[in-house]
Structure 1
Amino acid sequence: MRRTTAPRSATGRGPGRLLAALAALFSLAFTGAALPQSAAAAPERAGGTSPAAGPDAQVPAGVTAGIAVFDRQTGGFTEQLNAGAQFRSASIVKLLLALDFLWNRGPDYAVPAADRTRLSAMLRSSDDGAAGHYWSTYGGSAIVHRMTARLGLTDTAPPPAGREGYWGYTAMSARDTVRVYRYLLDTAPAPVRDLVMGHLRQSTRCASDAFDQHFGIAAAFDRPWAVKQGWSGRYAAGTCGPAGASPAPADGPGPGAPAAADVDLARPALHTTGTVGAGDRSIVAVFTLHPDGTSYGRAFTDLGRLTRSLDVPGGTAPSGTWYGTWGSGVNVRSEPFIADNSTTRLPAGVEVLVGCQRKGQVVSVPPYTNDWWAYLPQYGGYVSNIYISHPDDRLPDVPLCGG
């Protein structure tokens, strides 16, 4: 007899908590996921953000944000919140590394094969090795000074003294990031524009360090979009890729890292930047800092809610319903059954877009049992409804797949 799924918070009550914890150890090999540590591990459903800060921006509690949205059709901003505030850029500085390398390449903008490979990895999959190559080969902080002068950037600065080798500590703002994209789209030579923007349009879900980088813009809007994302801090695993892939820690200050006067080098950072809509209608730059101890899934979710609240001309929201999830290393599978069919895994506790649902293999994670599966269009696969933060087996506001 199948037991109806109970509310996820039931795992934190009475003796059932011990049973669930023991069962989780048994079920991990079967499902690829563990039960939440407590009821608090399951994020609330979409909503719950703080009052608007700016025209539309809904900034989640505890999050510090710098936001700029520029409408290229009207030539004006639709959103600005702390747009000139400096944040450590993390991987957003890779845009400057690419542009500096491509500057004055000659009339044919010939790029050696090795650099084409590096640029592709750095811009599509945020490869840190490629960024380190350009940083060390072409002058480190001198790159930032050159690009600041060339593009008229006002809030961009190299890493602080003592941290010159940390390219991710380059300071940037939302409005300077808009200036970078405006140069790329409106002024850069066509070969440069096509190379850089072409790679950003083909951003991979899994970054080279096995973190899921399709947050913010990439999740909030249907294509066409182009993105360059950034993350920095001591996050728990931002797991991406089939079971067995192990993400490296996101870069962050080591013990005794010097404090910067104006740029926070400590709190977890998550940034989404790029363009949205046909003809790159809108340029979007959202920089965020999160409270110490924030999980990658929580930051991913909060940045997603913030990005979805923005006025982005030309942007189209994807169809589906947003739900929280729980569990660590939850597998997304190509079909609604458990086999050698894991395509990727979800960051722990992340909010996901559910497009439809269907019945499939019964999954049991005592005290829960469920044979309904949710299709996640942005991941191209299914997760058992047992890992969706909702008390019912079947989600009430989600259609049947193919129905």
Structure 2
Amino acid sequence: MKRFTRAAVSLAAPLAAAQFVVGATAPAAAAAPQPVRVPSGVTAGYVVFDRQAGKVIANRQVHHRFRSASVVKVLIAIDYLERRKGTIPAADAALLATMLRGSDDDAATALWRRGGQGKIVQRMARKIGLADTAPPPAAKPGFWGYTAISALDIARVYRYLLDTAEPRVRDAVMGHLRQAQQCATDGFDQHFGIPRGVPRPWAVKQGWSGYGSVPPVKCVRSTSSSTGMAPRGAAGPTTTGASATDLTPVTTGTAGLATGLTTGRAAGLRRGNAVDFSRPVLHTTGVIGDRFIMVVLTTQPAGASYGSSATRLTALARDLYRSVR
């Protein structure tokens, strides 16, 4: 059994322009935290930030780098909206909606190409002060799902959205995340982790990769407490490689790191923190009510099924939420 820590992890970004410091006074010491179990074979990094207290209240391996899968779509959306001044064309508004609500990969690829691919990540990392985040490997510039992220960096992204971004950007992105569909456009059930384990209201962006391009079970919308997944065909995926739809190759643009991010990347590599591109990943991230930012990133066991991974991640998110309440 592994317990989370209440270490003094700061969400304040290294760039002064990010303005993340919160002056709230911390509440009196709480009761001893409840145990949070990380399932065997799972690599997990997580952060819970209490906006009311103005501090991180639970954390584990906050700088561990994971491949982003669809979580990077939040950065794609913020970058597009901040670069686009004036009215958003109807076609682009539709792309943003389906990318954030239904985690649509084709929409993400279209906006990724238009924004310069890895340059999107570079711009966002510089602006928000993301120390562990980096574009996909230079050999795979179009594979947006191979963007490197950490739990602390994604928590900073949500803080930026809620506390610093222009209201039009905040309202657009958070509005879509509050309406995240249960059934993603690729047929996968994306109500795992926070949506399945934490009471509403919440706004979420999920991520998954390594389970094939076709869901092993059919996603069925459900308002009950059941899994919302009905059997269809095989019980699990037969491949453990990256999802084809998550990783649509694009050949234009450039990849690599901006000069201002070199130090952060070197620090991550010195920690032996290379990104795992082989095992499946499953992530749940978002805002619970108006108070908690929760980010749980996981690398699952090799060959794990989507259903078993979702069950493990949901249990972890539920335990983590209960431990901080």
Do they fold alike, i.e. is TM over 0.5? yes
More helix, by proportion: 2
Question: 1:89-120, CA deviations, whole angstroms, 9 ceiling, x for partnerless residues?
Answer: 000000010011001433xx421100111101
Given that 1:71 and 1:313 are in contact with CA atoms closer than 8 Å, whether structure 2 keeps it comes out as no
Of 190, 206, 217, 1:229 maps to 206
Maintained 8 Å contact 2:217/2:231: no
Q: TM-score, normalised by structure 2?
A: 0.73
| TM-score, L = length of structure 1 | 0.60
Higher mean C-alpha deviation, range 53-62 or range 184-193 = 53-62
Aligned-pair identity in percent equals 51
Q: For 1:44-73, what per-residue CA distance to the aligned partner results, in whole angstroms no more than 9, with x for missing partners?
A: xxxxxx343435431011110000000000
**Hey, which bits of structure 1, 4+ residues long, moved more than 3 A?**
53-56, 241-251, 311-315
Amino acid corresponding to residue 205 of structure 1 in structure 2: Q
What is the letter of the counterpart of residue 97 of structure 1?
A: I
Is residue 266 from structure 1 mapped to residue 278 from structure 2 by the alignment? yes
Shift of 1:223: 1.0
Matched with 2:48 is: 69
Shift of 1:312: 6.3
Matches for 1:212-291 after TM superposition, within 5 Å: 212-234=189-211, 237-241=216-220, 252=242, 262-277=274-289, 280-291=290-301
The equivalences for 1:173-184 within 5 A come to 173-184=150-161
Work out which of the residue numbers 35, 38, 43 in structure 2 matches 1:59.
38
Are residues 314 and 123 of structure 1, via their aligned partners in 2, closer, same or farther at CA, if it must alter by over 3 Å? farther
Q: 1-side partners of 2:314 and 2:306: how far apart?
A: 12
In the TM superposition, residue 293 of structure 1 has moved relative to its aligned partner by 1.0
Q: Partner letter of residue 252 of structure 1?
A: A
Deviation of 1:160 (Å): 1.0
What is the RMSD of the two structures over their aligned residues, measured on CA atoms? 2.6
C-alpha distance in 2 between matches for 1:87 and 1:51: 20
Q: Which one has more relative contact order, counting CA pairs under 8 Å at least 6 apart?
A: 2
SS in 1 for 2:173: helix
C-alpha distance in 2, partners of 1:205/1:250?
Answer: 23
- Are the counterparts in 2 of residues 178 and 284 from structure 1 also a CA contact under 8 Å? yes
5 Å matches for 1:10-49?
none
| Contact residue 282 and residue 312 of structure 1 kept, 8 A | no
Q: Which residue of 1 aligns with 2:116?
A: 139
More strand by share: 1
The aligned amino acid for 2:179 is Q
Gaps of 5+ in 1: 1-49, 255-259, 316-403
Q: Is the 8 A contact 1:230 1:272 kept in 2?
A: yes
Higher mean alpha-carbon deviation, 237-246 vs 280-289, is at 237-246
Paired with 2:103 and 2:147, the residues of 1 have a C-alpha distance of 16
Map of 1:101 onto structure 2:
80
Please state how far the C-alpha of 1:244 moved relative to its aligned partner.
Answer: 10
> Aligned-pair distance for 1:82?
0.3
Whether the 8 Å contact between 1:210 and 1:245 is mirrored in structure 2 is no
Which residues of structure 2 form unaligned runs of 5+?
A: 6-32, 222-229, 245-271
Between the aligned partners of 2:113 and 2:232, the Cα distance in structure 1 is 28
Where does 1:2-401 land on structure 2 (aligned, <5 Å)? 50-54=1-5, 56-106=35-85, 109-234=86-211, 237-241=216-220, 252=242, 262-277=274-289, 280-311=290-321
TM-superposed CA distance for 1:234, in Å, is 3.0
Instruction: Provide the C-alpha distance between the structure 1 equivalents of 2:151 and 2:75, rounded to a whole number of angstroms.
Output: 14
Offset at residue 220 of structure 1 (A): 1.1
